[in-house]
Amino acid sequence: MKGISVSANVNREPLRFAYWVPNVSGGLVTSTIEQRTDWSYDYNRELAVLAENNGFEYALSQVRYMASYGAAFQQESTSFSLALLLATQRLKVIAAVHPGLWHPAVLAKLVSTADHLSGGRAAVNVVSGWFKGEFTALGEPWLEHDERYRRSEEFIRVLRASWTEDKARFQGDFYRLHGYDLQPKPLTGPDRPHPEIFQGGNSTAARAMAGRVSDWYFSNGKDFDGVTEQVREVGEAARAHGRRVRFGLNGFLIARDTEAEARETLREIVAKADVEAVHGFRDAVRQAGRSAQDGRGMWADSSFEDLVQYNDGFRTRLIGTPEQIARRAIEYKRRGVDLLLLGFLHYHEEVEYFGRHVLPIIRELEGEIEAAGAFPVEPARA
């Protein structure tokens, strides 16, 4: 097996996997196609155990605070995450939160408690905010795009200070601490000074912020070129501050025994899209995606088909046979992706199928790569 150069951002550790927790009704695609999934706790408790036994290291609980766009019902993310932590043994659960609706030091206290109860498996995903209607319905101010990221950066700095400093002090434009002493602090380890901090985003402001303060950067679905650009920019921003930021990529996975079956499933999902709901979501996120000064915000160039999976998951093209998906996943790893955040149509069945048929091929390919000392030559199409 011949080798090619590997991105400087590539992590030699095994590729990690997370799944979107379906704690919001409507499933992960805005379509009338059958989705054998459920937003209830009983369903999600079983799913969490199934996932950790099929190669998933992380789960991400979604955050919605009011009914909207095919998501009529939502379970609150932090409490739901704690319940899943207590139902599992190894799974790390990431609770999505919105600055502006939480005080970061109060959240730090909650996460510290969850961390102790779960043996050090709690994490947070700081979402700067795309749904203006939630803020206005709650009577909270809606900030301009870059101001939302400035607030998020302060939010993360307060989180970290609360978790790692005694009598923490912070003076910012949005938050202040005057000798705040959080006890007990979260659990720590050699590679974990505090609970992991994830963030999303696509804009220049998001990428720069990740380089300064976040542990992980989540990207919406991207092809190879899109991932390469983001990994490079976030990596450069992090290195400028003497840091390393890990990279997570969203993808909607459709693994079937044949490529034809997988492609037909995608065709049916889009053909049965809930057009009104997709348009409603598009209208809500358009202002978020295009409000960045340079137009590189999330969803700025998303098509109707992209938005049927509301985090552009089809763009990652994890669609096909187990071997096709495994090889594509390895190509993303070669470009600097550390974690794939996955959604599914039928969660229980497809998480188990992934663990049984897709993951073993990924691990086999990683073993071949390690033995050869390089990544395979075969370039997959973007």
Q: What is the DSSP string of 164-184?
A: H-TTEEEE-SS-EEEEE--SS
Mean pLDDT of 198-214: 94
Contact status, residue 210 vs residue 117, Cβ threshold 8 Å: no
d(CA 108, CA 95): 12
Looking from the CA of 334 toward its CB, the CA atoms found within 13 Å total 25
pLDDT in tens, 218-227: 999 999 999 9
Q: Which helix (H) or strand (E) holds 304?
A: helix 304-308
Contacts of 122 (CB under 8 A, 6+ apart): 81, 82, 85, 92, 93, 95, 111, 114, 115, 186, 195
d(CA 166, CA 247): 30
Q: What is the pLDDT of residue 373?
A: 78
The answer to whether the bond into 184 is cis (omega within 30° of 0) is yes
Mean pLDDT of 290-305: 63
Instruction: To the nearest 10°, report the CA torsion of 71, 350, 50, 335.
Output: -90
Q: Which helix (H) or strand (E) holds 88?
A: none
One-letter amino acid for residue 145 of the chain: H
Mean pLDDT of 112-118: 98
- For residue 10, pLDDT beyond 90: no
Contact status, residue 66 vs residue 73, Cβ threshold 8 Å: no
Contact status, residue 340 vs residue 15, Cβ threshold 8 Å: yes
Residue pointed to by tokens 């912070």: 170
Report the DSSP pairing between strands 196-199 and 216-219: parallel
Question: What angle in degrees, to the nearest 10, is found between the helix axes of 224-239 and 322-334?
Answer: 30
d(CA 367, CA 263): 29
Contact status, residue 329 vs residue 266, Cβ threshold 8 Å: no
3-class secondary structure, 155: helix
pLDDT band at 284 (very low <50, low <70, confident <90, very high): low
Q: What is the pLDDT of residue 371?
A: 87
Question: In sequence order, what are the beta bridge partners of 20?
Answer: 60
pTM: 0.91
Q: What is the DSSP string of 30-76?
A: SBSS------SHHHHHHHHHHHHTTT--EEEE---SS-BTTB--B--
Q: What is the pLDDT of residue 297?
A: 55
Question: In sequence order, what are the beta bridge partners of 59?
Answer: 19, 93
Shortest CA distance to 249 belongs to which of 212, 280, 216? 216
pLDDT in tens, 13-46: 999 999 999 999 999 999 999 999 999 999 999 9
- For residue 282, pLDDT beyond 50: yes
Q: What is the pLDDT of residue 292?
A: 53
C-alpha separations of 312 from 68, 153, 315, 360 in Å: 18, 25, 6, 26
SS3 percent helix, strand, coil of the chain, rounded to 5, is 45, 15, 40
Point out the least confidently predicted range of 66-75, 258-267, 334-343: 66-75
Residue pointed to by tokens 């550390």: 338
